[in-house]
Structure 1
Amino acid sequence: MSTEVENARTVEEIAAIDELRSLILLRFPEATFHVEHGIDDPEAIHLVTTIDSDDAVDLLEYVLDRQMQMQIEEGIPIFIIPTGLSRASSKDQATLAARSEALLSEPTS
């Protein structure tokens, strides 16, 4: 049994993991993955994605809309966690921080 299947609880979660992994591999064919549950929120699924650290911001921007759609519309608590982000340039970190801030300030309905 694969790690993804062991760490997912429903068919929908398995499908979400597979979809995001396939989407990421289209743009980042060197990416590798593993699945974890959140420490603070065991219901959360973390798709830990290892890519070149210079691509971390691009990765998040590339999948963010679909990830948010899965979370909000489909009720799947899935998050892409890129590894190597700490090695990203300060410009990339600032861009990611600004994007996160903008998302947090958007009204929810």
Structure 2
Amino acid sequence: MSRIADAAVAAVGTRFRLHGRGLDGLDCVGLVALALRADGYAGAVPTGYSLRGGDWGLLDRVLVRVATAEPGDVLLMAAGPGQVHLGIRTAAGFVHADAALRRVVERPGMPPWPLIGVWRMGV
């Protein structure tokens, strides 16, 4: 697997915390930042956003958009009306910070939500 996917899987069980950026609590943005740092990303991470909306152009500025998801890729999903959600593809499925379950989890297969796009480090 990739270092990004490995870091995401290692975070499984971490509690959910809106705007969380460490192993004391993560949201979906914090989870992606934590995983990308395992592969050398040292850039800015968005803060102060709400649960709905947001500027996802940052993904295009730091990652490369790809057509199909492989382990370690960042997934952007439409989780609800006006609500987007991030996750990391793994060999078994995907890891995401689940607000309803209040923790980071790995789910088998592809996400149940519509996939907006897929990004990869350093293609």
Question: Which TM-score tier does this pair reach, normalised by the shorter chain?
Answer: 0.3 to 0.5
Of Structure 1 and Structure 2, which has the larger fraction of its residues in strand?
A: 2
Question: Normalising by structure 2, what TM-score?
Answer: 0.30
Question: Normalising by structure 1, what TM-score?
Answer: 0.33
Of Structure 1 and Structure 2, which has the larger fraction of its residues in helix?
A: 1
